[in-house]
Structure 1
């Protein structure tokens, strides 16, 4: 059995990714005098904020402003502690109509759209299933076995989905008693988008917000593009790197982020809504997209889709750049991603048709 709680593993992985990103994006001998860099722990991971070309006082004020955003969103969207989302989940079970805070409505409507595009492979409505696996905890008990097949089958039979939520103006209701929202596969991306948009409103043009290796960057790192590292899905170090500039998000979903081992079997947190079990054909998926919310949801959906179906789902979700590493360690990419990414070794590469 495992001896290290999955949340601590996730934190160590996040720290590794951020250190990789720092080394690739900001370790020149001469740093610009106006570079600002701070790291905070939120959303269950380390979030690094880097601003370039901003006067020190302005940078500090902008950083404090987005910290307030993070605190609000974390308190509002937390899946298993008292929060606005917990209240919503309780009311959805009743089937009665209730009023919804305008700040939460875009999160739900965006999730509905992304869930439809992904054929339900991105499905924030399976919170009860995530909880059944023990991932609604800050520190999972390593002695806790996987759920019984009968428990999984019971939740699968009820098939909760985002189409079980009916929105009427600022009111909503649920039509499935087993519906329970969990935005774990989407919240970081949405939060990174909010942070970047807020920075832009404050006049900042060159910035990167990196949430445990999932990030969105705008502008440039002084006189060159931002450089991003993608971690090895097995072991430590950098698997690949790429450059980004303008406005792009890079998100990765991996089976190494949160997991536990029981009787020699590895169980990770990315659950296939079709089977009720962790998706088994993929080690990691990295996508590049304009906004973080879509990239975050797509990375989850394509992980579940696996090497056979990722191409179709990516096209439906409007994702142009994809790299998938399957359970054998083979790399699947579309040509657009292959032109941008630099691999640190020579894995077997399978190129798909153009998206």
Structure 2
């Protein structure tokens, strides 16, 4: 999970909410800490009492999810990781099983660029810590050993609620999509409580439902330097907007900066990309895709986005060029029109996706 941050500006990370000027209906915003970051819940069009009650429920939800899914702290996922090493079958806790199933499917769709099984690599780099500032890169020999073991999600064999691993080097780390799954669950809970207009922003990654009293929620995409704004987007009803950026967590060692998005093919931080922003109705998919496309980089992102069913992508490469598909270009309001923009072929919607939308 991501680290706690010292200020609201840093907590926002890659995205932040642009507050509108419409004040004729109540809008309530509350903040709390969860998943090691600052969470903003904004609810529109209902009473303050109802908003406060909903916020208390969602905060408790997030606290429970953090305890269940933290890879290193004691809890259900920690127990799963210990039992994986035995290579013997065991029962998966109900709080963890859905993430394993989703993680396997998303890893397969991304050609394993999104790989929640590389917890040992994340551990070696020190990015599981709340403060990686004093860390240094792991020894090349350790990285080579971890790569040789090649942990992947399909090493986990599920039979009902029973699971075992054919590779004891698998260590699950849901940091790359657990927050998205948690946001999806929280939004569902809000809707069950009758909340129809809200935006849930966890460290800059968010999902919006409804509108701000009839006005679309407007979201800003942070500049990959970590300062300023590159563009803004208006949400269309129920949408998730997630960004992965190399500025989110990093450390400097001997004058070189190392960020937290590890390429499972090399064992080192992915190169060529500064940030990736994706839009999708499902926060779990958006979270995983932002990581996978960051690793895929300028040359491969389109292929992986197509496989993962992503229809809106903005990738900013290390040279500052903007790569996007035509549909995303129509959605973006760029603040700097002078930057190099590379438009990809369209991302097409498959027959399966069309059937899902109709249903």
**Is the contact between residue 275 and residue 315 of structure 2 (CA under 8 Å) also seen in structure 1?**
yes
* 1:300 matches 2:296: no
TM-score of the superposed pair, with normalisation by structure 1:
0.94
Q: Distance in 1 between matches of 2:94 and 2:187?
A: 20
- Cα displacement (A) at 1:54: 1.2
User: Secondary structure at 1:316's aligned position in 2?
Assistant: helix
**Is the contact between residue 87 and residue 168 of structure 2 (CA under 8 Å) also seen in structure 1?**
yes
User: Secondary structure at 1:160's aligned position in 2?
Assistant: coil
4+ long deviations beyond 3 Å: 6-18
2:120 maps to which residue? 128
Q: Distance in 2 between matches of 1:170 and 1:239?
A: 45
2:321 maps to which residue? 330
1:321 maps to which residue? 312
**Is the contact between residue 117 and residue 171 of structure 2 (CA under 8 Å) also seen in structure 1?**
yes
**Is the contact between residue 80 and residue 137 of structure 1 (CA under 8 Å) also seen in structure 2?**
no
> CA-to-partner distance for each residue in 1:171-215, whole Å, 9 max, x for gaps?
111111110000110011111101110000111110100011100
2:80 maps to which residue? 88
- Cα displacement (A) at 1:17: 4.7
Q: 1:179 aligns with which of 155, 170, 175?
A: 170
Q: Distance in 1 between matches of 2:308 and 2:6?
A: 27
2:190 maps to which residue? 199
**Is the contact between residue 200 and residue 208 of structure 2 (CA under 8 Å) also seen in structure 1?**
yes
1:284 maps to which residue? 275
* 1:21 matches 2:16: yes
Q: How does 1:66-145 map to 2 (within 5 A)?
A: 66-140=58-132, 142=134, 144-145=135-136
Q: Distance in 2 between matches of 1:286 and 1:10?
A: 24
1:3 maps to which residue? none
TM-score of the superposed pair, with normalisation by structure 2:
0.93
Q: 1:240 aligns with which of 212, 231, 241?
A: 231
User: Secondary structure at 2:303's aligned position in 1?
Assistant: helix
- Specify every segment of 5 or more residues in structure 2 that has no aligned partner in the other structure, as ranges: 348-359
User: Secondary structure at 2:57's aligned position in 1?
Assistant: helix
User: Secondary structure at 2:16's aligned position in 1?
Assistant: helix
- Cα displacement (A) at 1:223: 2.2
**Is the contact between residue 133 and residue 252 of structure 2 (CA under 8 Å) also seen in structure 1?**
no
CA spacing shift, 1:11–1:186, aligned 2, 3 Å? farther
- Cα displacement (A) at 1:103: 2.6
- Specify every segment of 5 or more residues in structure 1 that has no aligned partner in the other structure, as ranges: 1-5
User: Secondary structure at 1:275's aligned position in 2?
Assistant: coil
